[in-house]
């Protein structure tokens, strides 16, 4: 395999494409109950909107478009994510190809993304918006290097396009172009790119792409920002401001270790003295990336000083994912040939590409022995089929998007609503023949309907079900151990005839 890659390093993209095709097959082979982000995408695909809550809408739009073209299915859901993940590796590699003099480093650079857990494992397990913004960041990095090396009107157009997509993917993307701006401004040789009239074309395209969502964001700022701000803060009351700063700096340190730790360990194990010897080597491009990363860290510290005290490792993914490229450029600058290190690195990459799909799949059947059930272990379809054996609902209302999305994957023609999300109304035609089904998971048999569902009924002007009308059904988990089962609660509500008081 290594000789095959040495002959044509670009073949690494074929390996990556095959790897993500395998991951689609693995997801198809797993139970079709969903993880949280997966379920959210299926649920939100009921509407076209300029915004859906605390995250920008790019991934929602993309997933909705795929569903419209190919139907709502696990294949469409998984393939969308895996195509985006492949494009992350592709544009990352195309950027590296523009910068590397020794093309034998290309497979090492591309496959190094496997050593970043947030890209290689967490993104496969259950991330959507982080996948979208990392794709946008990789595409933006390619457009940036292209513009700096070979400026043209088309490169500036691409720069604006990728900037707009990044802002529509996740708000923290804004730190990346800001850091690139600082890094370019500080470089005497590159500074002219900022004062080229074509940069106005880039800005105009980015603004026009983001503007419709930006208007929505301004009108729905509280709904869009509350959860985001909550994730950046721990919620703990600090005795003084310095304590909050220290906690924020500590969370940043932990996040940096969680993000870069595996990459550094793998590099140190494979490259050994060559890695450390390369620290003194450099090129104009390594110095450029150093300024970008330093600017990003300064921006994050400013955020911490402003009150953010809960920095997460996945939040750093689209900002610092260029670390492997940076290290490889440093090692190339030190005179090290990539061909000499490709074989041991390929072995490591092959292990990772084997372990990750196996781990993702085996966590389901292993629950049969451990009793540690994951979200996809829940048999929503079995519960729904039991509840609807003698009638079809005109509307299903749950207390979590996780349940609604998992059910809608198999029943896309039925409208779903949830008390967890009230930004949009769910159009429906529930009536006496197709009543409303309330669906929830019970913590124990003696617990009634969740308060949020009762609140939804009050808001809708519908009667609450009696104790006799609330029923329950126990459905075994996928790969259940013994009699292990999830307990579901449900109730049927017949809405009053249209026009009645």
Binning pLDDT at 50, 70 and 90, where does residue 468 land?
Answer: confident
Per-residue confidence (pLDDT) for residue 501, from 0 to 100: 46
Per-residue confidence (pLDDT) for residue 479, from 0 to 100: 92
Instruction: Describe the strand order of the beta sheet including 436-441 as a list of residue ranges.
Output: 416-418, 395-398, 436-441, 485-493, 471-476
Binning pLDDT at 50, 70 and 90, where does residue 272 land?
Answer: confident
- Cα separation of 438 and 348, whole Å? 49
Please check the confidence at residue 46 and state whether its pLDDT lies above 50. yes
What is the separation of C-alpha 132 from the centre of its chain, rounded to a whole number of angstroms?
Answer: 6
Binning pLDDT at 50, 70 and 90, where does residue 115 land?
Answer: very high
Instruction: Calculate the alpha carbon distances from 339 to 162, 240, 280 in Å.
Output: 33, 54, 21
User: Residue 20 corresponds to which tokens in the numbers above?
Assistant: 């993500």
Note whether 270 and 108 are within 8 A (CB). Answer: no
- Cα separation of 447 and 439, whole Å? 14
Contacts 24+ apart (CB under 8 A), 3-11: 5/107, 5/342, 5/346, 6/104, 6/339, 6/342, 9/103, 9/104, 9/105, 9/106, 9/107, 10/93, 10/97, 10/106, 11/107
The conformation of residue 357, written as its DSSP 8-state character, comes to H
Question: Average pLDDT for residues 381-395, to the nearest whole number?
Answer: 93
Pairing status of strand 485-493 against strand 436-441: antiparallel
What is the separation of C-alpha 495 from the centre of its chain, rounded to a whole number of angstroms?
Answer: 38
User: Residue 74 corresponds to which tokens in the numbers above?
Assistant: 């696990």
- For helices 401-410 and 36-44, give the axis angle rounded to 10 degrees: 70
Question: Average pLDDT for residues 167-185, to the nearest whole number?
Answer: 95
Q: What is the mean pLDDT of the chain?
A: 90
Note whether 19 and 88 are within 8 A (CB). Answer: no
Binning pLDDT at 50, 70 and 90, where does residue 360 land?
Answer: very high
Per-residue confidence (pLDDT) for residue 285, from 0 to 100: 94
Name the pTM for this structure: 0.92
Taken in order 365, 369, 374, 379, the sign of the CA dihedral is positive
The conformation of residue 392, written as its DSSP 8-state character, comes to -
Please check the confidence at residue 334 and state whether its pLDDT lies above 90. no
End-to-end CA distance of the chain: give it in Å, rounded. 73
Angle at 19 between CA 13 and CA 23, to 5 degrees: 145
Question: Average pLDDT for residues 168-182, to the nearest whole number?
Answer: 95
Instruction: Calculate the alpha carbon distances from 296 to 174, 309, 431 in Å.
Output: 10, 16, 55
Please check the confidence at residue 235 and state whether its pLDDT lies above 60. no
């Amino acid at each position: 395999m290594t000789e095959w890659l040495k002959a044509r390093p670009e073949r690494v993209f074929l390996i990556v494409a095959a790897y993500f095709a395998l991951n689609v097959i693995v997801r198809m082979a797993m139970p079709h109950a969903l993880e949280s982000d997966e379920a959210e995408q299926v649920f939100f695909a009921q509407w076209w909107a300029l915004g859906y809550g605390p995250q920008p809408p790019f991934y929602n739009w993309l997933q909705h478009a795929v569903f419209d073209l190919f139907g709502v299915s696990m294949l469409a859901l998984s393939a969308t994510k895996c195509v985006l993940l492949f494009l992350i590796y592709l544009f990352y590699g195309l950027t590296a190809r523009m910068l590397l003099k020794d093309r034998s480093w290309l497979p090492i650079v591309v496959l190094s993304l496997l050593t970043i857990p947030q890209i290689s494992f967490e993104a496969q397990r259950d991330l959507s918006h982080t996948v979208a913004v990392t794709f946008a960041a990789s595409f933006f990095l390619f457009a940036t290097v292209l513009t700096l090396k070979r400026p043209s009107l088309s490169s500036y157009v691409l720069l604006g396009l990728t900037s707009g997509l990044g802002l529509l993917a996740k708000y923290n993307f804004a730190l990346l172009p800001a850091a690139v701006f600082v890094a370019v401004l500080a470089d005497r040789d590159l500074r002219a790119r900022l004062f080229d009239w074509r940069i106005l074309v880039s800005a105009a395209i980015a603004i026009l792409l983001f503007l419709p969502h930006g208007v929505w964001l301004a009108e729905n700022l509280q709904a869009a920002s509350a959860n985001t701000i909550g994730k950046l803060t721990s919620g703990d009351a600090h005795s003084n401001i310095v304590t909050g700063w220290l906690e924020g700096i500590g969370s940043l340190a932990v996040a940096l270790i969680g993000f870069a730790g595996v990459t550094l360990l793998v590099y140190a194990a494979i490259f050994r003295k060559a890695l450390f010897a390369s620290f003194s080597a450099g090129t104009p491009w390594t110095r450029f990336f150093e300024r970008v990363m330093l600017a990003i860290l300064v921006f994050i510290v400013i955020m911490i000083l402003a009150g953010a005290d809960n920095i997460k490792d996945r939040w750093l993914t689209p900002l610092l994912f260029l670390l492997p490229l940076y290290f490889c450029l440093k090692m190339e600058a030190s005179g090290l040939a990539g061909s000499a290190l490709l074989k041991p690195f390929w072995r490591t990459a092959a292990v990772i590409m084997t372990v990750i799909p196996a781990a993702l799949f085996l966590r389901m059947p292993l629950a049969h022995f451990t009793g540690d059930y994951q979200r996809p272990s829940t048999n929503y379809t079995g519960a729904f089929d039991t509840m609807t054996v003698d009638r079809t609902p005109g509307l299903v209302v749950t207390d979590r998007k996780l349940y609604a999305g998992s059910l809608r994957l198999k029943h896309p023609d039925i409208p779903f609503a949830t008390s967890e999300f009230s930004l949009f109304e769910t159009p429906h035609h529930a009536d006496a023949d197709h009543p409303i089904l309330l669906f929830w998971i019970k913590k124990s048999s003696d617990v009634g309907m969740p308060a949020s569902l009762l609140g939804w009924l009050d808001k809708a002007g519908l009667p609450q079900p009696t104790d006799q009308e609330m029923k329950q059904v126990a459905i075994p988990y996928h790969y259940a151990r013994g009699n292990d089962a999830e307990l579901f609660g449900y109730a049927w509500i017949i809405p009053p005839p249209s026009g009645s008081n």
